[in-house]
Amino acid sequence: MREELLSHVEGKRILDFGVGTGYTTGRLPHAVGIDLSMKMMSRAIDYRGQLVRADILKPPFKGGCFDTIISAGSFYYLPDPLEGLKSFRYLLKDGGIILFLSPNTALSVFKPFIHIYTHQEYRNLFNEAGFTPEIVRTTDARRYICFCKARKEG
């Protein structure tokens, strides 16, 4: 699934929101990984890009500086998903994209701990935040993972 997600990356400036151990973007030299947890980032020992301790709702970057923003298993932790998407929109260049991997509704074991968004909820959030959804689908055979791609028009 990581390879499928990375096949959709556009441009060189990539932001990995909730970078954690760096598993998703660790091999990309132009990536910037942000996370609130120093403990998680300390596990990203082979990360080729930059690591920054930061809050996506208060980003330490200028607007319009990223081509792609990735969230592989982090978006559902945001206290306000719409504000998170608005922050993504601010950080993206016109025409930039967001890419998500997150649990699908078939994976109900996580429901007591995180909000598992339906495909329609993702579409609605993207539209409300000013993105055009391009892909919102289940990506694996067991239907556990949702893959999303949306574009900032402009």
Name the residue among 45, 46, 47 with its Cα closest to residue 33: 47
Q: What is the domain range of residue 113?
A: 2-152
Closest CA to 55 of 84, 14, 92: 84
Kindly report the CATH number assigned to the domain that includes residue 45: 3.40.50.150
Q: Give yes or no for residue 5 having a pLDDT over 80.
A: yes
Task: For 42-63, write each residue's pLDDT tens digit.
Answer: 999 899 999 999 999 999 999 9
Q: Residue 18 and residue 44: Cα distance in Å, rounded?
A: 12
Pairing of strands 92-103, 66-72: parallel
Cβ pair 49, 55 in contact under 8 A: no
Q: Give the predicted TM-score (pTM) of the model.
A: 0.92
Number of domains comprising the chain: 1
pLDDT in tens, 72-122: 989 988 999 999 999 999 999 999 999 999 887 665 666 667 788 889 999
Give how far Cα 6 sits from Cα of 16, 52, 99, 145, 149, Å.
Answer: 11, 21, 9, 15, 11
Residue of 16, 5, 97, 100 whose CA lies nearest to 59: 16
